[in-house]
Amino acid sequence: MRYEKALVWLRNDLRWEDNLTLKKATELARSILPVYCLDPRQFGPGDFGLKKTGPYRARFLSETIQDLQNQIREKGGNLLLLHGKPEEEIPTLAQKAGAGMICFSQEVTAEEIRVEQALEKAAWSKGIATESYWQSTLFHIDDLPFPVAQLPEVFTKFRKECEKLSFIRPLEKIPETVRFAQIPEGHLNSWPEMGGPDFTDEGTENKADMLFRGGSGPALERMNHYFWQTDSLASYKETRNGLMGADYSSKFSPWLAMGALSPRQVYREVKRYETERTKNQSTYWLIFELIWRDFFRFMAKKHGSRIFQIGGIQDKAGYWKEGKVAFSKWAAGKTGIPFIDANMRELNQTGFMSNRGRQLVASFLVNDLEIDWRWGAAYFEQQLIDYDPCSNWGNWMYIAGVGNDPRQDRYFNILLQAKKYDPQGTYIERWIPELDKLKGFDRHIPFQLPSEKLDTGRIRLGKDYPLPLVSAENWSV
């Protein structure tokens, strides 16, 4: 053992199982001190006048921390909670606790890297060593068949080369018995004590098909439900473009984003399912989607803060407007285009939106309203329960045509999409009660209906439901 004590700074790797940072700490030190530090900057104002973290994700994070704390307590230790800037609090605590080293997981985006670098500098000035590890992706960064600087810009090439030339590491095993360091006096014990924002005041009335509970316990329960109890995995490829219900897709994203579940855990469970139940295109397709997640993370590593800039990784001049009024209507789900409004209302009332919905509302904002795509990305950052900087900004760039898409223009015909994915208007009925007296597909096109139909549906356009923000001329069906 090189050290008497190691402080483990947990970040977006909030799990005990398959946690390389925890494992390395147990190998390097006689005892470990796991710590989570709530950074108030993550709850302050973000870009474009929006919050960085809204109430759904705040609640999910508080549950995740509680779940991990319970697990560590069962093993005889504790998860020590701090409030403040990690680059100040963590080295100070390490010194107070007599820890000779600090271990943590590497992140890839600019703000997180700034914190890491400042923390390392502060630790070294106190004579404390630091070690950081890569563990957020399916393929390990050191096992990629190319250096990150030469990462292919096109997903298909990235995926095929990884599948052919790389491999997925086994799960990390943490020893059965771990020695925990004594916790220094005066530590914090709960979410409110650590300055966590109150999430009960707004927007947490949850109307979702599925309640997301934070923590690796609920994550494994969800995986068990989706794979073994319902066999939903076996038809994932056919159902993944769905809009309603708990099981059209895996819904693993919030747990993956906070690291309560690792992509390798999902991969190993898919492999077990393939051996014990069935192997088909759907079981492969879930892994395919996890490779998309990897792709955006490695892209962020390659391109740094360009993923947050208006010209994206292509540094492309744009035609974006600053339409504040149109943007707030889009955000509130009041554009007068039912398919867009229903998706935005689902997001606002639950913190979640399907992948299909995300593509449509993003395309509508950037292509139809021509609004700066970064406003949309920042709004998603505030609202999403599964917000992940790489997947979010990467997907937004992609749709805005400034990211990695050989097809360039990702334009979606909203009415054609409605015909394909919600032909009976049931999704609209669910989220837009103003339109529920209309029948079937008419719910998608109140702006094209004759006045008799509107009268029967008791809708006065412009009063009961907004007039459309854009004309539907481009959307022939």
Chain residues binding ligand FAD by CB under 6 A are: 240, 249-253, 256-257, 286, 289-290, 292-293, 296, 354-355, 358-359, 362, 380, 384, 386-388, 391-392, 395-396, 399
Give the whole-angstrom CA distance, residue 219 versus residue 441.
36
In the complex, the smallest distance separating the C-beta of residue 244 from ligand FAD, rounded to whole angstroms, is 13
Pair 241, 353: CB distance under 8 Å: no
User: Which one, 92 or 309, has the nearer CB to ligand FAD?
Assistant: 309
In the complex, the smallest distance separating the C-beta of residue 197 from ligand FAD, rounded to whole angstroms, is 20
In the complex, the smallest distance separating the C-beta of residue 58 from ligand FAD, rounded to whole angstroms, is 15
User: Which one, 393 or 465, has the nearer CB to ligand FAD?
Assistant: 393
Give the whole-angstrom CA distance, residue 317 versus residue 103.
41
User: Which one, 69 or 250, has the nearer CB to ligand FAD?
Assistant: 250
Buried b (16+ CB within 10 A) or exposed e, 259-287: bbbbbbbbbebbeebbeeeeeeebbebbb
User: Which one, 130 or 382, has the nearer CB to ligand FAD?
Assistant: 382
In the complex, the smallest distance separating the C-beta of residue 287 from ligand FAD, rounded to whole angstroms, is 9
Q: Indicate the burial class of 197 (C-beta count within 10 angstroms; 0-12, 13-18, 19 or more).
A: buried
Give the whole-angstrom CA distance, residue 199 versus residue 66.
15
In the complex, the smallest distance separating the C-beta of residue 291 from ligand FAD, rounded to whole angstroms, is 8
User: Which one, 31 or 383, has the nearer CB to ligand FAD?
Assistant: 383
In the complex, the smallest distance separating the C-beta of residue 99 from ligand FAD, rounded to whole angstroms, is 33
CA distances (Å), origin 355, targets 261, 361, 380, 463? 20, 10, 13, 31
Q: Show Cβ contacts of residue 15 under 8 Å, excluding neighbours closer than 6 positions.
A: 68, 216, 219, 259, 260, 261, 262
User: Which one, 83 or 302, has the nearer CB to ligand FAD?
Assistant: 302
Distance of CA 304 to the CA centre of its chain: 18
Give the whole-angstrom CA distance, residue 139 versus residue 341.
37
